Structure 1
Amino acid sequence: MTLVDSHCHFWQLSRGDYDWLDGTGGPLEPIRRDFAPQDYPGTARLIAVQAAPSVAETEFLLSLAAQDPRIAGVVGWVDLSAADAAETIAFLSQNPVFKGVRPMLQGLEDSDWLVTAARPEAIAALKAHGLRFDALVTERHLPMLQRFAAAHPELPLVIDHAAKPQPGARPAWHQGMQALAGHAHVHCKLSGLLNELSDAERADPLPALQAIFAPLLNWFGPERLIWGSDWPVLTLAGSWQGWRDLTETLLAPLSEADRAAILHRNATRFYGVT
């Protein structure tokens, strides 16, 4: 079946703006190296997503897309609080491969930054240029994101990694995600979930993944769930093929049309790629 990977990363450490990858040792050591399109292990059309808070990295990803036709879209970074944010969005939008923005909300101390600091003209520019918004959030951001989604129904929004549900009971996650699913323009990525499981859950990940997937399917339906790998961050928890096999098992009870929607049609529609 055709596959669109709605969430993968490429980086070149010598560029110098990947602060979260700085240092040596620790759990990130296995991915503290360059990852280029030729290293991608699967066969898919790709949406390359920013991994550094700089316009320069967005331009780097756009340059990779110019060299590799598998990269159908780029989700970049713009400082939405900057005075020139609208102009930067307009400039990047001259490249048709530029499909949206992703501020790195999970790393900001202020959980409400998006609604308190982002400039209205920047959000208006996203809408005016037909762009999308990738929400890199965790459970603490969900009440804010619900307010943002309600205020901007014209801005297509996708929740990256299903807001990173944590192991164990998660009533606040359930409440927040269900509320967001009530907005027809809000989608959710099936990506990054393996990385959030506990070590015990990773030993047999399917039950824990089913406990996350079942409510997401109920809330968003197969028409607003989008498959992604989060490669190469994924490799800290498992292999690309392992995640592909796990998601095939999760989707097995669905109809062929619903599986196709989650694996490629929803991403194609959401990001406006061919």
Structure 2
Amino acid sequence: MRIDAHHHVWTLARGDYRWLTPDLAPIYRDFDLSDLAPHLSAGGIEGTILVQAAPTEAETRFLLDLAEHAEIVRGVVGWTDFDAADGIARIADMAARELLVGLRPMVQDIDDDDWLLGPGLAPVLAEMAAHVLVFDALVLPRHLPRLLRVVDRHPNLQFVLDHCGKPRLASGDIAEWRRDIARLAERPNLVCKVSGLATEAARDWRAEDLREAVGHVRACFGPRRMLWGSDWPVVNLAGGYAKWLAAAQTLLPDLSPEERDAVFGGNAARIYLSKRGRRIS
């Protein structure tokens, strides 16, 4: 099965997408699964992982309700308040929803760069591991050394690094990112989501502009620990779904059929769905 391991939907009237402002004109409107369907059909994609885009539990419930009536959505990565006094209970409650497969704090938007290292996070992450939930790490390059420490502290928790850790492709300043990616890849409980690179590249990017980053991720993680995701509709800011999918395929030209199946679907099924017994076929 081909799986898009990372996409969003949103309804502006909900009012909880504070980052989504009119200056982001190509994506400043409602997007739902009917908008996504033509892209999935063109790409031969049979399942998706729907990911939160607002730091509210209300949005996560909205996504879960939507997913329960959409066969194409195989799992939801949601959000909860990791800092809440009843954080453990919140996770246990949310984990009861069949299609919840992971949680994603929006670390890139948190003012405290050391938030990942806070002592209060440990019991919450342990609760996630107990419920076989995935921790999606939405971080910037400066967070990678901190993420490494968290991954080491929680060897029983599965981590997914979103958007390859957002290397600064537009500026070309990726030396430290390369170092930290290599270190993270040594940890067996972390995999890398090949998504979001188009929006980190220069305007009017070409596939060649992404080659070094994709090549480094492949060399470090290998095809069995890479998941392809569209980051739709955010990718509409940088060329769109079809351009990014074509680029990813171009930049991974020599995969065996088994490796290609893994990167473009099998790994997402294994990481997000199989361990929790979620629907795959």
- Structure 2-normalised TM-score? 0.92
Deviation at 1:12, TM superposition (A): 0.8
Cα contact 1:6–1:229 (8 A) shared by 2: yes
> Aligned pair in 2 of structure 1 residues 8, 118: CA closer, same or farther (>3 Å)?
farther
Distance in 2 separating the partners of 1:77 and 1:65: 15
Q: Is the 8 A contact 1:47 1:71 kept in 2?
A: yes
User: How far off its partner does 1:96 sit?
Assistant: 1.5
For 1:268 and 1:78, how far apart are their aligned partners in 2?
23
Instruction: Indicate the residue corresponding to 1:96 in structure 2.
Output: 98
Task: Tell me the equivalent position of 2:5.
Answer: 6
Contact 1:48 / 1:71 at 8 angstroms: preserved in 2? yes
Aligned to 1:85: 87
Distance in structure 2 (CA, Å) of the matches to 1:117 and 1:139: 22
Which has the larger displacement, 167-176 or 134-143?
167-176
User: Residue 192 of structure 2 aligns to a residue in which SS?
Assistant: strand
**1:53 CA displacement:** 0.3
1:38 aligned residue: 34
Alpha carbons 1:143, 1:176 under 8 Å: kept: yes
Residue 181 (structure 2) pairs with residue 177 (structure 1) = yes
One-letter identity of the residue aligned with 1:174: R
The gaps in structure 1 that reach 5 residues or longer are none
Tell me, in whole angstroms, the C-alpha distance in 1 between the residues paired with 2:20 and 2:112. 22
Q: Secondary structure at the match of 1:144?
A: helix
Whether contact under 8 Å (1:86, 1:125) holds in the other structure is yes
Identity %: 42
- Match for residue 198 of structure 1? 202
* Separation of aligned partners in 2, 1:118 and 1:65: 31
Residues 7-22 of structure 1: pairs in structure 2 closer than 5 A: 7-22=6-21
Contact 1:42 1:240 in 2 (8 A): no
Pairwise mapping of residues 117-266 of structure 1 onto structure 2 (< 5 A)? Answer: 118-167=120-169, 168-199=172-203, 202=205, 205-266=206-267
Contact kept, 8 Å, 1:81 with 1:117, in 2: the verdict is no
Identify the range of structure 1 (236-245 vs 137-146) with the bigger mean alpha-carbon deviation. 236-245
Q: Distance in 1 between matches of 2:203 and 2:239?
A: 12
The Cα of 1:255 is off from its aligned counterpart by 0.8
Secondary structure at 2:19 match in 1 = helix
Distance across 2 between alignment mates of 1:151 and 1:122: 12
The offset of 1:244, in angstroms, is 1.4
Number of residue pairs aligned between Structure 1 and Structure 2: 267
Q: Which amino acid aligns with 1:189?
A: K
Q: Is the 8 A contact 2:126 2:157 kept in 1?
A: no
- Give the whole-Å Cα distance in 2 for the aligned partners of 1:169 and 1:145: 20
Alignment RMSD: 1.2
Q: Which letter does structure 2 place at the counterpart of 1:95? A: R
Q: CA deviation at 1:199?
A: 2.1
Distance in 2, Cα, partners of 1:86 & 1:99: 16
In the superposition, relative to structure 1, how do residues 64 and 117 fare at CA in structure 2: closer, same or farther (>3 Å)? farther
How big is each residue's C-alpha offset from its partner over 1:91-133, in whole Å with a ceiling of 9 and x where there is no partner?
Answer: 1111120011000000112111021164332112101111000
Matched residue type, 2:130? A
After superposition, the C-alpha distances for 1:212-236 in whole angstroms (9 at most, x for unaligned) are: 1111111000000000000000000
Cα distance in 2, alignment partners of residues 259 and 119 from structure 1: 36
Q: Give the letter for the 2:251 counterpart.
A: L
Give the alignment's TM-score, normalised by structure 1: 0.95
CA apart distance, 1:169? 3.4
Q: Distance in 1 between matches of 2:182 and 2:82?
A: 27
Q: Would the aligned equivalents of 2:9 and 2:31 in 1 still touch at CA under 8 Å?
A: yes
